[in-house]
Amino acid sequence: MTTTRRQLLVGTAALLAAASATAQQAAPWPAKPVRVIVGFAAGTPPDVFARLYGEYAAKKLGQPFVIDNKPGSAGNLATDAVAKSTDGYTVLYNVSTAFTINPSIYGKLPFDPAKDLVPVATTMRQGLVLIAGPQFQADSVKALLEQARAKPGTVSHASYGAGSPSHLIMEWFKDETKTTMIHVPYRTSPISDLLGGQVNAAFVNINSIISHIKAGKVRALAISSEKRSPLLPDVPTLQEQGVKGAEVESWQAMVAPKGIPADVKAKLHDAVVAALNDPSVKPKLLEQGFEVVGNTPEQFGKFQAGEYARWKALIEARHITAD
């Protein structure tokens, strides 16, 4: 092969590669399937809702949204995978603890949610219900506090583990009400032991306990959200019972890696918000006791920063670490 011909072939190949790259850059996003990494196993609430939004987004944007479950370390494995992603086609769906609590209760993490991720939208939120077990004679927050103060350190409260929302809200509740109670952490759900009387009280998500409340197996004393839940209209808020500043909710959200183009983030945001308000999706959220959010990335970012600071202060004051 002559030198001239070889140079011509090399030049042509370079031009074709450049043209291909330019075409890929110019192609409207998404030009291929989008991977949605979920921090929990298949069948869990975050997975179920991520699939709902993914199915809707796929129809709206014309490409599959493929769910990739990466459970483990309270959602940290999934968050790390997305924080390190650079392909422009990977996003994260996770629960609030991944963004506001985990950075403070775990040792040094290989990512910083505030720096390595950008907010897309908070999807929904839900207050936690303060439950009294069937053998614990308290029918109000006042009655619970009276018993806890009468015999300090004898009333027990369960949680889903050290640093979980159910744990932190009770630590905050004890600080606010100047009471002492025994924390009993579980690695899975504490509800069976709560029903069986092995522990006295707990803060739990509405959808995990509502059937037991309606069956009369446990008593709902209060809800931690700003307003009463439509699913439990007779259960007063903590604020209504004299515990001020008690708006504490668990929430879920979609985020993306830093560096995501503004137009891509806007498309993601619009698709998620549209899904939240679609008649085929919204009722499924409401019937589980969730309030639809769908805020802007800017609102999400401001809220996340406030929640992070709030829980960081409590975690440091109480010297809380992950199990």
CATH code of the domain covering residue 201: 3.40.190.10
State the total domains in the chain: 2
Q: How confident is the model at residue 305 (pLDDT cuts 50, 70, 90)?
A: very high
Report the range of poorest mean pLDDT among 17-31, 76-90, 278-292. 17-31
β-pair partners for 126: 250
Overall average pLDDT of the 200-224 stretch: 95
Q: Are residues 163 and 187 in the same domain?
A: yes
| Domain at 121, CATH number | 3.40.190.150
5-22 pLDDT tens trace: 555 444 545 544 444 444
Of 241, 262, 290, the residue at which a domain comes to its end is 241
Candidate from 17-31, 111-125, 166-180 with smallest mean pLDDT? 17-31
Closest CA to 102 of 182, 165, 175, 170: 165
206 near 129, Cβ under 8 Å? yes
- Pair 278, 193 in one domain: no
pLDDT digits (tens, 9 = 90+) for 220-238: 999 999 999 999 999 999 9
Residue 1 binned pLDDT confidence (cut-offs 50, 70, 90) = low
